[in-house]
Amino acid sequence: MITDPIQIGFVVVSLVLAFTVHEYAHGWMCYQLGDPTAKYEGRLTFNPLKHVEWLIVGLITLTFVFTGVPVGWGKPVQFDSDNFRHPIRDAALVAFAGPLANYVLTALLVVPLMLMPPEGLLFSFLAILCGVNLALALFNCLPCPPLDGWKILQAFVPRSTAREMQRLEVKAGMTALMVLIIVFLAVPALNPLNPVYSLFWRTVVLRA
């Protein structure tokens, strides 16, 4: 059980910021590809209140306190693929924009982290913010509905297969994702992201 209020606050704030950047990138890419839905819904902003619901912030806090692993998600950006010139390809680009934004933010944060002495609250916050963005980007690239990786994969399979994947995503809803999260929490060794995240933490944060 996590009881350090500073650590809890850093993790929750970092996730809210990571979700905000992630969802903004989805909306921005939608708009660039010809769909104004995100703009009309007020999602082209870095205001966290437009991208994260308070109930999810509470879920993030509770799961981190009791399991050590924060679980939550941003408010999905809606789009109308009929506005895209190439619906499947453009939907994949919209999906990839979210993780890409988190990867870019991670890369930008690594520079000051490596230049700072590994101590103090600022270093701790930047380390957590960097780690959270990396973890969010990696997790969202997994090919599981409704994660971004599922939509990205559709751009590399035959069109008929992509249509079937879209129908499966609608039927599955959040079920497959929740099962995946439970499996990763129960058996961390099955999580393919752990080695990558551990490498980042050892080399950038602990510098071992």
What is the average pLDDT across 157-184?
A: 92
The pTM for the full model equals 0.94
Tally of domains in the chain? 1
Find where tokens 């035959």 sit. 158
Give residue 16's pLDDT: 96
What is the average pLDDT across 11-40?
A: 97
The b-or-e profile of 111-141 (16+ CB within 10 A means b, else e) is eebeeeeeeeeeeebbbbbbbbbbbbbbbbb
| Percentage of the chain modeled with pLDDT above 90 | 77
pLDDT tens for each residue of 41-98: 999 999 999 999 999 999 999 999 998 889 889 999 999 999 999 999 999 999 999 9
pLDDT at 206 over 90: no
Domain containing residue 99: 5-206
What is the average pLDDT across 129-139?
A: 95
What is the average pLDDT across 164-183?
A: 92
Give residue 193's pLDDT: 87
pLDDT at 166 over 80: yes
| DSSP sequence for 50-85 | GT--HHHHHHHHHHHHHHSS----PPPPP--GGGSS
**DSSP state for residue 117 in the 8-state scheme:** -
- 102 or 69: whose pLDDT is higher? 102
State CA 108 to chain mean position distance.
17
CA dist 63 and 107 (Å) reads: 27
84: its two tokens = 């895209």
CA dist 117 and 122 (Å) reads: 10
What is the average pLDDT across 170-194?
A: 89
What is the average pLDDT across 198-206?
A: 89
CA dist 51 and 44 (Å) reads: 10
C-beta separation of 139 from 147 below 8 A: yes
pLDDT at 208 over 70: no
